[in-house]
């Protein structure tokens, strides 16, 4: 059981470039989440999904898009990266309203 | 509005001293509260949830509905407890979404 995995671990982008972060879970969880972690701000929810084919906006969705085509995968896309999106991104999954399990994080720098 | 407040950004104690990390919440109803911990360069992991009423790594937390608090306590801090601690709230109807506090960095000095 790998739990929650994230790809890539690190990435440096130039302003305006695009990229996709991949989150995968092998626990058959219905719920999946994308957070960003910034110093002094804690974790803020970007988007979430309550099941395959569904997505919803969280607290800070602007500049990001997501897709949940398969139950085990949750993709986070940045269409045109900005320096303000420099952050550590965490994916999490949970079964219904149970405990959330987090991935190892992706450290993204936008120059 | 649902909100979690952790008033201390940084808490520094000496090894063997008691530690209390404060967490206050704002929620009308019966909240579900958690403490998550993040050791250096690692993923977040669950430390405690209030409904379990258990002690993990010597830490305990009691929900006080009157004071709307869920403070994390340990009688004797260890150096390996140094980490970032996040209090989180899962309110009814939130579809499992957690609302996190901004976190408290605990530093345990030798």
Complete DSSP assignment for A36-101: EEETTTEEEEEEEESSTT--EE-SS-TT-EEE-SSTTEEEEEESS--GGG-EEEEEEEESTTS--E
Contact A97 B96 (CB under 8 A): yes
Question: Residue B94: its pLDDT value, please?
Answer: 54
Count of A-B CB contacts under 8 Å: 47
B38-79 pLDDT per residue, tens: 999 889 999 998 877 778 899 999 889 899 999 999 999 999
Question: Residue B21: its pLDDT value, please?
Answer: 98
A50: nearest CB among B42, B90, B95: B95
Query: Does residue B15 register a pLDDT over 90?
Result: yes
Percent of chain A with pLDDT over 70: 97
Residue with the bigger pLDDT between B69 and A1: it is B69
| 3-class state of residue B80 by DSSP | helix
Q: Which residues from B are below 8 Å from A44, CB to CB?
A: 100
Q: Which residues from A are below 8 Å from B103, CB to CB?
A: 42
Q: State the Cα–Cα distance between residues A42 and A36, nearest whole angstrom.
A: 8
Q: Which residues from A are below 8 Å from B98, CB to CB?
A: 45, 100
| Average pLDDT value for residue range A84-105 | 91
Nearest CA in chain B to A57: B97
Residue A82 touches chain B, beta carbons under 8 Å: no
Query: Does residue A80 register a pLDDT over 70?
Result: yes
Q: State the Cα–Cα distance between residues A74 and B8, nearest whole angstrom.
A: 33
Query: Does residue A97 register a pLDDT over 70?
Result: no
Q: Residue A78 — very low, low, confident or very high, per pLDDT cuts 50/70/90? A: very high
The least confident of A26-30, A48-52, B28-32 is B28-32
């Amino acid at each position: 059981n790998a739990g929650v995995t994230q790809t890539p671990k690190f990435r440096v982008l130039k302003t305006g470039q695009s990229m996709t972060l991949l989150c995968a879970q092998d626990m058959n969880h219905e719920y999946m989440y994308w957070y960003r972690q910034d110093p002094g701000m804690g974790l803020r929810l970007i988007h979430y999904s309550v099941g395959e084919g569904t997505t919803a906006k969280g607290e800070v969705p602007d500049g990001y898009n997501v897709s949940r085509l398969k139950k085990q995968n949750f993709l986070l896309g940045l269409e045109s990266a900005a320096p303000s999106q420099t952050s550590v991104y965490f994916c999490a999954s949970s079964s219904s309203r149970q405990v959330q399990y987090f991935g190892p994080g992706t450290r993204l720098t936008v120059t | 509005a649902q909100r979690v407040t952790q008033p201390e950004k940084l808490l520094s104690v000496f090894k063997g001293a008691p530690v209390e990390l404060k967490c206050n919440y704002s929620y009308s109803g019966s909240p579900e509260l958690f403490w998550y911990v993040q050791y250096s360069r690692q993923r977040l992991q669950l430390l405690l949830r209030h409904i379990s009423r258990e002690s993990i790594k010597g830490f305990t937390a009691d929900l006080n509905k009157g004071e709307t608090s869920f403070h994390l306590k340990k009688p004797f801090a260890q150096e390996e407890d140094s980490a970032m601690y996040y209090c989180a709230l899962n309110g009814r109807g939130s579809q499992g979404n957690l609302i996190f506090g901004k976190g408290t960095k605990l530093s345990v000095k030798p």
